[in-house]
Amino acid sequence: MVLRNTPTSYGATARTLHWATALLVAGLMSVGLYMTRLEFSDWKVRVYSWHESVGVLVFALTILRLGWRLYSPPPPLPPAPWIEHLAARASHGFLYAALFVQPILGWLGSNAFGFPIVWFGIVPLPDPIGKDEAIGRALLSAHSWLAYAMLAVLAVHAAAALYHHFVRKDRILARMLPGLRPPRD
């Protein structure tokens, strides 16, 4: 098993971090939609706490992913028009920025509503804002809108990977999914 990226494929570390992040973000988005519709109860507090803790985990994974990209750069993009390279870099840049900013917005928004975050019930995070519901509403509104923007960019990201695999028939998808062979002409 190759841990580092190669000139033609992502290594096991990058693939694991990518798919772990993808699964956690899918869960966070699903739970985020669910929890906002709940009436206030002990269950709602537990679901919010889980959501916040997993958000902190995604933040940590994002830092780890960025560090890994510096240590083991991704394979180069295949030849394509410059606009496709620009779109790929812009979407990846947006997703990394969103994965970094989104948990911060959620943490500060919860804090501003007077709800401290205790990571998985063990590690309390600092409360840098203090209670201010107007700031909390603004932060959590930004958190919500950023989630929808992420969802849109993630849909484009997945569609582009499928386009490359089925239409362009290059190895873009195969290098992130081990064992996947590109279609033959």
Residues 15-47 pLDDT 10s: 999 999 999 999 999 999 999 899 999 999 999
Residue 181, pLDDT above cutoff 60? no
Would you state the pLDDT for residue 180? 63
Residues 140-177 pLDDT 10s: 999 999 999 999 999 999 999 999 889 988 878 888 88
Would you state the pLDDT for residue 176? 87
d(CA 100, CA 86): 21
Contacts of 109 (CB under 8 A, 6+ apart): 136, 139, 140, 142, 143
Structure tokens at 48: 């919010």
Phi, psi of 81 (to 5 degrees): -60, 150
Question: pLDDT-based confidence at 182, cuts 50/70/90?
Answer: very low
Type of residue at 83: I
Would you state the pLDDT for residue 8? 83
d(CA 84, CA 162): 14
Residues 107-134 pLDDT 10s: 999 999 999 999 999 999 999 988 999 9
Residues 51-107 pLDDT 10s: 999 999 999 999 999 999 999 999 998 888 999 999 999 999 999 999 999 999 999
* Whole-structure pTM value: 0.90
